[in-house]
Amino acid sequence: MSIFRPGASFVNVDSLECASMTQTPRSGRRTRAELVPTDAGLAEIVAERIKTYRGTMSAQRLAERCQEIGLQWDRQTIANLESGRRNIVTVGEWLALSYALSVPPLALLLPLGESDSMEAVPDVALHPDLVRRWIEGETPQTTSDRHVTGDVPFYQRAALPLVLYREHYAAQQRVEQANGRVQTKEYTDGADSPAAVEARRQYSDALAALATVHKEMRDRDVLPPRLHRGVVDDMARVGIDTGQIRVGDQGGDDGAR
């Protein structure tokens, strides 16, 4: 049985041994080279990543950026975190720091490309990419020896909005790319050329695929994003029922056009 949707590149449950929710404590501490982080937990990773990503930016400038978006940190708070004197970072602080540094939040949390293991939760060491996949709803949580644990069907249901939003975004990207090909072929080859006709057919197919994902989200009680008015108009022109499509006032919440 594959987790989530057919054809998706998710872990296959049949090839993994299920385990109980109870974890056996590790018999000994791993060295820093073996496990990131050590005793300090995830705050240590965040602190190290902040130092990496701020580069030549001063702690004072980062503090100012944080304050501009409502996180009332001063230079000393950042220095305390980076030196280990502060060993707690809240979720809100983590997101605000990521915003201030203009980096993906997971880039501050996961040592991807730098370590083969991290302590995702106490006494569970995983590869950082497994942690990423767990956070993003691709793979259920596993034990340190890679056995799936917990209620997999419940995880699937909880992750469904993440899965559908990824599919919706991918479908929007295909619409945008197909629309670009139409414009290119009509300009270079002429509107009546075989290449332009084929590009318009592919654009229609991409619109239909986007409408299908949009409908599936509604059918599964997942609120879909609004679509660009121009995209919805194009759907209607090729015969797609747009009665239930959510339309943005301007460009839509996440519309492709």
Residue 56 or residue 2, greater confidence? 56
pLDDT at 120: 80
| 256, pLDDT greater than 90 | no
**Of residues 39 and 20, more confidently modeled:** 39
Distance, in Å, from the CA atom of 45 to the CA atom of 54, rounded to the nearest integer, reads 14
25 pLDDT higher than 70: no
pLDDT value at position 146?
81
For 72-97, write each residue's pLDDT tens digit. 999 999 999 999 999 889 999 999 99
Q: What is the pLDDT of residues 49-64, one digit of tens each?
A: 999 999 999 999 999 9
Contact present, 214 and 245 (Cβ < 8 Å): yes
Q: Which domains, and CATH codes, for the chain?
A: 36-109 (1.10.260.40), 115-150 (no CATH), 153-237 (no CATH)
Neighbours of 49 (CB within 10 A): 21
| Residue 252 φ/ψ region, left for φ over 0, alpha for ψ in the -120 to 50 degree band, beta for the rest | left
What is residue 126's three-state secondary structure?
strand
Q: CA 19, CA 150: separation in Å to the nearest integer?
A: 7
Spatial distance between the Cα atoms of 109 and 95, rounded to a whole number of angstroms? 10
Q: Give the SS3 label for residue 125.
A: strand
Please tell me the distance from the alpha carbon of residue 181 to that of residue 227, in angstroms, as a whole number: 20
The answer to whether the CB of 255 falls within 8 A of the CB of 226 is: yes
Banded pLDDT at 40 (limits 50, 70, 90): low
Q: State yes or no: pLDDT of 14 exceeds 90.
A: no
Query: Mind giving me the DSSP string for 66-108?
Result: HHHTT----HHHHHHHHHTS-----HHHHHHHHHHHTS-HHHH
> Residue 173 and residue 150: Cα distance in Å, rounded?
34
* CB crowding 173-212: b at 16 or more within 10 Å, else e: ebbbebbebbeebbeeeeeeeeebeebbebbbebbebbbe
Q: For all residues of the chain together, what is the average pLDDT?
A: 83
Quick check: 3 pLDDT over 80? no
CA–CA separation, 126 vs 154, rounded Å?
Answer: 21
Give pTM, 2 decimals.
0.75
Predicted confidence band of residue 29 (pLDDT cuts 50, 70, 90)? very low
Query: What's the whole-number mean pLDDT along residues 37-55?
Result: 79
Q: What is the pLDDT of residues 135-176, one digit of tens each?
A: 999 999 888 888 888 899 999 999 999 999 999 999 999 999
Axis-axis angle for helices 194-219, 229-237 (nearest 10): 110
Q: Is the pLDDT of residue 100 over 70?
A: yes
Provide the 3-class DSSP secondary structure of residue 207. Answer: helix
pLDDT at residue 142 in the model: 86
Inter-residue contact 109 to 46 (CB < 8 Å) = yes
Please state the rounded mean pLDDT for residues 180-199: 96
User: What is the mean predicted confidence (pLDDT) over 213-227?
Assistant: 96
